[in-house]
Amino acid sequence: MTTPAEAVDRPDEHQAGPEGSPAALAGGLVRLARPRQWIKNLLVFVAPGAAGVLLHATVLWHAAAAFGIFCLAASGTYYLNDGLDAEADRRHPTKRHRPVAAGIVPVPLALTLGVVMLVASIGLGARLAGWHLAAVMGAYVAIQLAYSFGLKNEAILDLACVSAGFILRAVAGGVATSVPLSNWFLIVVSFGSLLVVTGKRSGEKQLLSDNDTDHAEVRQTLGLYTPSFLRTVRTLSAAVTVSAYCLWAFERARQVHPGHDPIWFQLTIIPFVIALLHVLRLLDQGAGAAPEELALHDHRLQIYGVCWVALFAIGAYAG
């Protein structure tokens, strides 16, 4: 039976060609880019969508371009991280199947392509929306490099670095489309990201325990986090996320419908909280090792998401 983490990290049962062949290398490079992870980059559409301007042609084009730029940057970090973590990944029960750890993609090639992709993302950001988006992409690259070269081994800071990646995606969407970002919006994204990242660490610990693998050998910080600490951080993050979202929903209602309150934004609180509680239940069971798998395959979560999007769209576009 395939675990969520294995669904992401395990190579396909049918390789494109024998190991060492150009076809196998090409397939390894594609898998190394982690296309499934690109779902995270949809955060760039949130700010213009919440502002009710996403359907404007220019805004939609800029948001889509920012999405592509972040896909390039995110894949660059995966190339870089997997090249640097090849030895540790070989001791992991599932990550040992990743292309670099498995020897399909040479370490020097992964590192070189990773650097090229990261630099290209900054240049493309500057071309799309000037120095503002270039600065956002530069901050993302700097944080990812700091994470790869040391902060991933620092407790708490590793959580902050990964969370920052989510936050910068949302900020990039606002910068690329010239949409101002609400303080409450940034708080929701920040603590929602921390919740997801902490749940991922809990899931990783559970996965390693199930496979009798030493946590510290694979990821140093996992040995420093106790289950109770991670549960506390998840609870704190969820509480702040819900509080900030409620305030943001009421703020958006006043901004979009001044003097008139059709309560659509307020109603979005219901599916938002239900979805968050559903995620918390899954994370408490150790199912967060691959959070993108939850978004792609958990039908209940998808239903809650559709309800949220529908209510929010009515409030933003039909008022």
Residue 99 confidence (pLDDT) = 87
Residue 16 confidence (pLDDT) = 44
Question: How confident is the model over 152-179, as a mean pLDDT?
Answer: 92
| 44-91 pLDDT, tens digit each | 999 998 888 888 999 999 999 999 999 999 999 999 988 888 887 777
Rg (CA), the chain: 20
Enumerate residues 6+ apart whose C-beta is below 8 A from 116: 76
Residue 213 confidence (pLDDT) = 64
Dihedral over alpha carbons 29, 45, 271, 161 (to 10 degrees): 60
pLDDT tops 50 at residue 108: yes
- The answer to whether the beta carbons of residues 152 and 80 sit under 8 Å apart is no
| 234-245 pLDDT, tens digit each | 999 999 999 999
Residue 18 confidence (pLDDT) = 52
pLDDT tops 50 at residue 7: no
pLDDT band at residue 8, thresholds of 50, 70 and 90?
A: very low
Most confident of 2-6, 212-216, 256-260: 256-260
What is the secondary structure of 30-57 as a DSSP string? Answer: HHHT-GGGGGGGGGGGHHHHHTT-TTSH
| Better-predicted residue by pLDDT, 44 or 202 | 44
| 214-223 pLDDT, tens digit each | 555 566 788 8
Return the minimum-mean-pLDDT range out of 17-21, 102-106, 117-121, 232-236: 17-21
- The answer to whether the beta carbons of residues 93 and 2 sit under 8 Å apart is no
Residue 194 confidence (pLDDT) = 94
Residue 20 confidence (pLDDT) = 61
Residue 214 confidence (pLDDT) = 58
Q: Which two tokens stand for residue 175?
A: 């910068």
SS3 track for 61-108: HHHHHHHHHHHHHHHHHHHHHHHHCHHHHCCCCCHHHCCCCCCCCCHH
pLDDT tops 80 at residue 191: yes
Question: How confident is the model over 13-40, as a mean pLDDT?
Answer: 76
d(CA 316, CA 47): 12
Burial label for 223, CB within 10 Å (0-12, 13-18, 19+), is middle
d(CA 104, CA 125): 31
Q: Given phi > 0 = left and psi -120 to 50 = alpha, else beta, which region is 286?
A: left
Residue 258 confidence (pLDDT) = 72
pLDDT tops 70 at residue 279: yes
| Residue ranges of domains in the chain | 20-180, 182-319
AA letter at 191:
F
Q: What is the share, in percent, of the chain residues with pLDDT greater than 70?
A: 89
The chain-wide mean pLDDT, for the chain, equals: 85
| 282-317 pLDDT, tens digit each | 888 878 777 778 888 889 999 999 999 999 888 887
AA letter at 2:
T
The arrangement of secondary structure in 20-180, i.e. its CATH architecture, is: Orthogonal Bundle (1.10)
Q: Which two tokens stand for residue 224?
A: 């420093």
Residues in the chain: 319
| 110-143 pLDDT, tens digit each | 999 999 999 999 999 999 999 999 999 999 999 9
d(CA 30, CA 150): 26
